[in-house]
Amino acid sequence: MNPTRPQPLVTRIDLDAIAHNTRVLAAQAGPARLMCVVKADAYNHGVQRCVPVMDRNGADAFGVATFAEARQVAQLTDKPVLAWLWTPGEEIPAGIEVGVPSLAHLGMLIDAPATPTPTRVHLIVDTGMNRSGLDEDAWPEAFARAACAEEEGAIRVVGVMSHLACADDPGNPFTAEQLAAFARAQAQARAAGLDPRVNHIANSPALWTCPEAHCEQVRPGLSLYGDEPVPGQTHGLRPAMTWAARVVAVKPIARGESVSYGLTWQAPEDGYTALVPVGYADGVGRSWQDLFGATIGGQWYPQVGRVCMDQIVLWLGADGATGASPVRPGDEAVLFGDGGVSADKLAGAVGTINYEVLCAPKGRTVREYVGEGKEGRR
């Protein structure tokens, strides 16, 4: 593939933005360690290129969901890598730190064959989100068993971790309830004889809205990629992803004529349409029909008609192909990102969140990188 030839459909990742955001988060974390969450292939930005940039610009550790992700990230950094979504019976990669969400998981680690180096674990406690983690009535048994296993050299408890449910809603009283429960968990762990030194509960929104949640380590994800985790707030972040396609064709259409399957949309006047090669096989939701569009040459155009597997149609209006900013085949149509609407705005339009929008590009989308992500001043 010729890297200089424009691709029909790309996600363009700005590594300088990743570097900038990492430095901003490291500064916001203050004395707390910065664990960069790079699960789901760095939120669809690519761990191979993003992890080294974060490593150079302030990351102290990395967090992922699965062991497969952990193996990949561990090849890119010498810093700690934590994985927290696994089932008892899975082979635990050597050198990976492990989140422990239940007594069954803890028992598997304790009963596993001895290794030269004890497995480093983070005990996951449920503080009210009811998604994953040890329930409070199980804490005494879990902490006692972990302390015994640590004395026997089977595991090394690094810290206690949990997750906040409402940190993106500043002032929500449930956050204070969770932090109180998290403090109880740490106190009980110490009373059982453990020494959890790296405790963490703060996600991206809590990094900005809740300094008391920083503890010894923060665990942001979304903010690393430049999107705001708290609606209506700005923190000097730079969005790193742009999703764009090349216009395939520009066609005239008469008033009253329809486009795409089901003929669900009719042209309100004589004008032009543009065919763009992206569809639901590439991550555009079929349910997004008539709710989004793309920006071409600085002008936003609405999508019309059914979203197809491979393509969408944009309504250019009466002068879309003949006005001062004509649209032609080969022009770039930005679905979101640099030169177009933000991921936040697209998410709001189609009824989802910016996290899901960043994860949307897939299929035939080709990932491209700009910038070098070099280490900056801190």
Is 39 catalytic? The answer is: yes
Find the catalytic residue in 43, 79, 225, 261.
261
Q: How far is CA 228 from CA 221, 294, 345, 354, in A?
A: 11, 21, 11, 8
Per-residue pLDDT reduced to its tens digit, 157-187: 999 999 999 999 998 999 999 999 999 999 9
Beta-carbon count within 10 A of 346 CB: 22
Find the catalytic residue in 39, 43, 272, 301.
39
Task: Tell me if 311 sits within 8 A of 282, measured CB to CB.
Answer: no
pLDDT recorded at residue 231: 87
Task: Tell me if 29 sits within 8 A of 207, measured CB to CB.
Answer: yes
Block means of pLDDT (10 residues each) for the chain, length 378 residues? 76 98 97 98 98 98 98 98 96 95 96 90 98 97 98 96 96 96 98 98 96 97 96 93 97 96 96 97 97 97 98 91 77 98 97 97 98 69
Q: Is 316 exposed, middle or buried (0-12, 13-18, 19+ CB in 10 A)?
A: buried
pLDDT recorded at residue 324: 55
pLDDT recorded at residue 378: 39
Q: Is 246 annotated as a binding residue?
A: no
State the Cα–Cα distance between residues 200 and 157, nearest whole angstrom: 13
Q: Is 309 annotated as a binding residue?
A: yes
Which residues does 279 contact at the CB level (< 8 Å), separation at least 6? 307, 308, 309, 310, 311, 312
The SS3 call for residue 94 is coil
Alpha helices in the chain (DSSP H): 15-29, 39-44, 47-56, 67-74, 103-111, 139-151, 173-191, 204-209, 343-350, 354-359
pLDDT recorded at residue 62: 98
pTM summary value: 0.95
Per-residue pLDDT reduced to its tens digit, 54-73: 999 999 999 999 999 999 99
Is 251 catalytic? The answer is: no
Which residues does 358 contact at the CB level (< 8 Å), separation at least 6? 43, 44, 45, 222, 225, 227, 241, 343
Q: Which of 76, 162, 172 is nearest to 125 (CA)?
A: 162
State the Cα–Cα distance between residues 269 and 256, nearest whole angstrom: 7
